[in-house]
Amino acid sequence: LGPSSLTTTIIMESKQIPTLPETVGVVGVGTIGKAVICGMMKANIFKKVICSPRGKANVEYLIKRYPGRVEVAGSNQEIVDKCKFVALAVLPKQSLDVASALKWTREHMLLTLVAMTKTEDLLKAAAPCDTIVRAVPLPCVAEHEGITIVSPKGLPFTNAVASMFDRMGGSVIAKDDAECQVLQASTCLMGPFYAMQAACNEWMVSKGIDEKDGMKYLAGMFTGVAADARAAVGEGRSFGDLVKEQTPGGLNEGCVKILRKGGVYGKYKECLAYALGRLKG
């Protein structure tokens, strides 16, 4: 199991917060539930994962892929009865009904992956469980790519969950739901990013490049650029520094000027504000 950071026992409100247990329960095994379970398995974080019966095709896939390590419960309550650490990954509109239908205890640690549903509402639905941490992973967490937002800051369980996601690609801790939403808003640029790549490829095809060759090149090239940015930020450089590093008078500098003049970066901020508004509900 995990590194020493996960084995520290911390006291909070005179209640001992244990290290992550050997078994985790997952209620809601859809796209993100499945991805998180694959990431957990790849990092060898838990000995066993107990899945809810819903999301049948994904559960069957996981049982086949991880024999003896993934099992399915007969009901959501069976998960809560068997696991102290439960991840909730149903749709926002289902989340409060699903949580309030279950019998929780103060010993439970609930990890919510549900966007939109407020922690305060979930605390009421899952009472008397009072240890709820939010995480916002993306499907690429399955392959330990990307980074997961974890909140709120300050809870020992938050630190344990963040350490867990550190072993699955990385984590950043947000102070509270509000800060989490601001960070999360940036995930709305994933679709526009793909749309930009699609536009690049359309242009290449119009110049005679084979569509598949164009896609292969663009996916690989942008993966390299993103990896460079992550390394630079890790070394203390900023995105502004990276822009300034572009060759003076070169192609990149020229393109940044065209896009700035066209107000494209302002439009990105408009997208972020739109996404934040939607996340706040």
Ligand X SMILES: NC(=O)c1ccc[n+]([C@@H]2O[C@H](COP(=O)([O-])OP(=O)(O)OC[C@H]3O[C@@H](n4cnc5c(N)ncnc54)[C@H](OP(=O)(O)O)[C@@H]3O)[C@@H](O)[C@H]2O)c1
Closer CB to ligand X, 188 or 232, in the complex: 188
Determine the residue with CB nearest ligand X. 30
The one segment of 29-37, 211-219, 250-258, 267-275 that binds ligand X by CB under 6 A: 29-37
Helix axes 264-280, 177-185, angle to 10 degrees: 140
Looking only at residues 34 through 63 of this chain, which bind ligand X when binding is defined by CB under 6 A?
52, 54-55
Token pair belonging to 162: 């963040």
For residue 50, count CB atoms less than 10 angstroms from its CB and return exposed for 0-12, middle for 13-18, buried for 19 or more: buried
Judged by CB under 6 A, does residue 76 bind ligand X?
yes
Out of 72, 80, 87, 89, the residue judged to bind ligand X by CB under 6 A: 89
Judged by CB under 6 A, does residue 21 bind ligand X?
no
DSSP code, position 154: T
Judged by CB under 6 A, does residue 83 bind ligand X?
no
Judged by CB under 6 A, does residue 32 bind ligand X?
yes
Judged by CB under 6 A, does residue 19 bind ligand X?
no
Residue 175's CB is within 10 A of a number of other CB atoms, namely 12
Judged by CB under 6 A, does residue 27 bind ligand X?
yes
List the one residue out of 12, 34, 166 whose CA is nearest residue 87. 34
Residue 229's CB is within 10 A of a number of other CB atoms, namely 13
Least separation in angstroms between residue 253's CB and ligand X is 35
Helix axes 56-65, 31-43, angle to 10 degrees: 10
Within 13 Å of residue 128, how many CA atoms lie on the same side as its CB?
3
Judged by CB under 6 A, does residue 114 bind ligand X?
yes
The one segment of 136-144, 156-164, 217-225, 271-279 that binds ligand X by CB under 6 A: 136-144
Rounded Cα distance, 62 and 277, in Å: 36
Least separation in angstroms between residue 255's CB and ligand X is 30
Judged by CB under 6 A, does residue 92 bind ligand X?
yes
Enumerate binding residues for ligand X (CB under 6 A): 27-33, 52, 54-55, 76, 89-92, 94, 98, 113-115, 136-139
